[in-house]
Chain A
Amino acid sequence: MTAPEPPPDPAAPGPAAAPILNLDRLSLHFGGLQALSDLELHVDDREIVSLIGPNGAGKTTVFNVITGVYEPSAGDVRFAGHSISGQAPHRIAGMGIARTFQSLRLFLNMSVMENVLAATYGRTHASPAESILRLPRARREEREARALAADVLSFFGQRLAGYRWDQPAYSLSYANRRRLEIARALGTKPRLLLLDEPAAGMNPTETHEITELISRLRDERNVSILVIEHDMHVVSGCSDRVIALDHGVKIAEGAFDAVASHPAVVEAYLGRDPEALTEPE
């Protein structure tokens, strides 16, 4: 599929060293429950950062704070130099942060194509009246949106091939739904992509495919990526940097090997003293 337009936001020129996303001493609590405390995290331009940690560590909560679902109790979220905390989710998405959902939240009763087209809403501006009358701006935007959607879907090759575009999203297999979630997120032309367990429920072949896909996303579409993943093959395969969370606190950061063998990470996953489990009282 030939794309009639260049890939979105080709390496947006900006201050070279400034990270695209910066969480500054971010805290969030629900009542007495401290979900995140003083979290410092940054993602540089065109960097792939993995977020790991045991269940309940607060990884998805980080995503929810970044995308505006939750408002942080303290601290700040800065995207491309601007503070975005407290903004409405659709505005944050419009600025260039797109996400996928761990639990899959596709528009199931819309077609595959429409799922991606719906995500172009924030990039199009034709009013309902213009749409009804099919005025030039509405027609041009519709054409561009379809071209973008076709381009984005073609990114997944045979997996989301053309004959599936008009099928309802509910007819897709589980793995394909995960791919469509990514495609839909790309439909917003993001600069930063938040992937929540993109390889969950996939078989080893598909997992390998996803690992390559994440790298390709960065290389070919120039997006920075923050990815939550439990599968260490994916994490080690694509990340530039790994951050480990536990109980809402960052416990380790760095290259994959260093983080994976970090005592605090081992402890978070396996418990304080593994031998204590085997010892009688």
Chain B
Amino acid sequence: MAFFFQELVNGITTGALYALVALGFSMVYGVLKLLNFAHGDLYMVGAYIGFFVIRWFGGPTALTIPVPLLLVIMFVLAAGLVGGLGVAIERFAYRPLRNAPRIAPLITAIGVSFFLENSALLLFGAQYRIYNTPDFISFSTGIRIGSVSIDAVQIMCLLLGLMLMVGLRLLVSRTRLGKQMRAVAVDREAAEMLGINVNFTIAATFFIGSALAGVAGVMAGLLFNQVNSTIGFLVGLKAFTASVVGGIGSIPGAMLGGLLIGIAESFITGYISSLYSDLLVFALLIVVMLVRPSGLLGQVQLQKV
């Protein structure tokens, strides 16, 4: 039973990470109806930024600043830079294609993803970069409930993920920007005619979504320790599914989907085999999508005839 709960905790932590990536993906899909394949690669860039921040401040064993400050710098820098990168990508690659056939921005997104991934390969090499989190945040600082242990990094990631999700929910439901985002998501042209600055709203959405991916990247570095130029693709793929399983375009749906996939993956790895975890997750998702195409919390799109 302890094993079960341990896997559950691990699954929820990974799930929170997937949920953050899925949120950004879902938001972008909401406003542009675009499957942003480059989203997973933004996550990868975030993870690299975290790594270089650690190295900049002396490396994991000889930090020159206190750990909390380091974490704040990592997260803020990753959020800011990756957010900026997302906005630049939108401006450069997607905005010229707003009115092009649907396949064009999709192909562009694949191109951007390929470009980012290989740029990282060029700049940072193929080797895995290691965070060495245990060197500056001890595993022993954490909570133990019975034989289930939740270490400090997991707690932090969970709390941060939760905070960001609540914050995003409030942003979308309560603020002026959130209202504009929802309006653009429903009907871009109508929103434009009502005086909403559509370009700004879309850019803001990209910034927020990408920043979340950047934060998730740093979290991944802290949790899994390893960074490589190829980590983005698979996580991106799972984030797509998370948002689709939850109902694409729906924020609570993306959270739910992320958690479900994290937990499913954790249990498959724990109880069956890590070799088959990706394969089984994909199979599971295909089944979910066939049974409920609009996702768990998604709304069925009405088609006017």
Smallest CB-CB separation from B101: which chain A residue? A109
Interface residues of B in 166-182 (CB under 8 A from A): none
Q: How far is the CB of B160 from chain A (nearest CB, A)?
A: 40
Q: Once bound together, how far apart are the Cα atoms of A103 and B305, in whole Å?
A: 8
Q: Chain B interface residue count: which class?
A: under 10
CB-CB under 8 A from B304, the residues of chain A are 103
Q: Once bound together, how far apart are the Cα atoms of A60 and B304, in whole Å?
A: 11
Q: How far is the CB of B104 from chain A (nearest CB, A)?
A: 15
Q: Once bound together, how far apart are the Cα atoms of A64 and B304, in whole Å?
A: 11
CB-CB under 8 A from B305, the residues of chain A are 60, 64, 69, 101, 103
CB-CB under 8 A from A69, the residues of chain B are 305
Q: How far is the CB of A135 from chain B (nearest CB, A)?
A: 35
Smallest CB-CB separation from B303: which chain A residue? A69
Q: How far is the CB of B299 from chain A (nearest CB, A)?
A: 13
Q: How far is the CB of B294 from chain A (nearest CB, A)?
A: 15
Q: How far is the CB of A40 from chain B (nearest CB, A)?
A: 23
* Bitwise interface map of A from 181 to 218 toward B, beta carbon under 8 Å scored 1, else 0: 00000000000000000000000000000000000000
Interface residues of B in 266-302 (CB under 8 A from A): none
Q: How far is the CB of B303 from chain A (nearest CB, A)?
A: 10
Interface residues of A in 85-100 (CB under 8 A from B): none
Q: Once bound together, how far apart are the Cα atoms of A262 and B115, in whole Å?
A: 69
Smallest CB-CB separation from B302: which chain A residue? A30
Q: How far is the CB of A107 from chain B (nearest CB, A)?
A: 15
Q: Once bound together, how far apart are the Cα atoms of A60 and B305, in whole Å?
A: 8
CB-CB under 8 A from A103, the residues of chain B are 304-305
Q: Once bound together, how far apart are the Cα atoms of A69 and B304, in whole Å?
A: 11
Interface residues of A in 57-110 (CB under 8 A from B): 60, 64, 69, 101, 103
Smallest CB-CB separation from A105: which chain B residue? B305
Smallest CB-CB separation from A30: which chain B residue? B302
Smallest CB-CB separation from B304: which chain A residue? A103
* Bitwise interface map of B from 139 to 152 toward A, beta carbon under 8 Å scored 1, else 0: 00000000000000
Q: How far is the CB of A57 from chain B (nearest CB, A)?
A: 16
Q: How far is the CB of A45 from chain B (nearest CB, A)?
A: 27
Smallest CB-CB separation from A70: which chain B residue? B305
Q: Once bound together, how far apart are the Cα atoms of A202 and B304, in whole Å?
A: 22
Q: Once bound together, how far apart are the Cα atoms of A103 and B303, in whole Å?
A: 12
Q: How far is the CB of B157 from chain A (nearest CB, A)?
A: 41
Smallest CB-CB separation from A63: which chain B residue? B305
Interface residues of A in 120-176 (CB under 8 A from B): none
Q: How far is the CB of B52 from chain A (nearest CB, A)?
A: 49
Q: Once bound together, how far apart are the Cα atoms of A95 and B305, in whole Å?
A: 21
Interface residues of B in 151-205 (CB under 8 A from A): none
CB-CB under 8 A from A64, the residues of chain B are 305
CB-CB under 8 A from A101, the residues of chain B are 305
Q: Once bound together, how far apart are the Cα atoms of A60 and B303, in whole Å?
A: 14
Interface residues of B in 212-235 (CB under 8 A from A): none
Smallest CB-CB separation from A67: which chain B residue? B305
Q: Once bound together, how far apart are the Cα atoms of A64 and B305, in whole Å?
A: 8
* Bitwise interface map of B from 36 to 61 toward A, beta carbon under 8 Å scored 1, else 0: 00000000000000000000000000
Q: Once bound together, how far apart are the Cα atoms of A69 and B305, in whole Å?
A: 9
Q: How far is the CB of B79 from chain A (nearest CB, A)?
A: 42
Q: How far is the CB of B304 from chain A (nearest CB, A)?
A: 7
Smallest CB-CB separation from A103: which chain B residue? B304
* Bitwise interface map of A from 31 to 61 toward B, beta carbon under 8 Å scored 1, else 0: 0000000000000000000000000000010
Q: Once bound together, how far apart are the Cα atoms of A103 and B304, in whole Å?
A: 9
Q: Once bound together, how far apart are the Cα atoms of A101 and B303, in whole Å?
A: 14
Q: Once bound together, how far apart are the Cα atoms of A101 and B304, in whole Å?
A: 11
CB-CB under 8 A from A60, the residues of chain B are 305
* Bitwise interface map of A from 8 to 41 toward B, beta carbon under 8 Å scored 1, else 0: 0000000000000000000000000000000000
Q: How far is the CB of A95 from chain B (nearest CB, A)?
A: 20
Q: Once bound together, how far apart are the Cα atoms of A88 and B51, in whole Å?
A: 58
Q: How far is the CB of B159 from chain A (nearest CB, A)?
A: 40
Q: How far is the CB of B301 from chain A (nearest CB, A)?
A: 14
Q: How far is the CB of A274 from chain B (nearest CB, A)?
A: 32
Q: How far is the CB of A106 from chain B (nearest CB, A)?
A: 15
Q: How far is the CB of A55 from chain B (nearest CB, A)?
A: 13
Smallest CB-CB separation from A196: which chain B residue? B305
Q: Once bound together, how far apart are the Cα atoms of A258 and B304, in whole Å?
A: 33
Q: How far is the CB of A84 from chain B (nearest CB, A)?
A: 18
Interface, chain B (partner A; CB < 8 A): 304-305
The 3 closest A-B pairs by CB, nearest first: A64-B305, A69-B305, A60-B305
In the complex, 6 of the A-B residue pairs with CB atoms within 8 angstroms, ordered by the A residue number, are: A60-B305, A64-B305, A69-B305, A101-B305, A103-B304, A103-B305
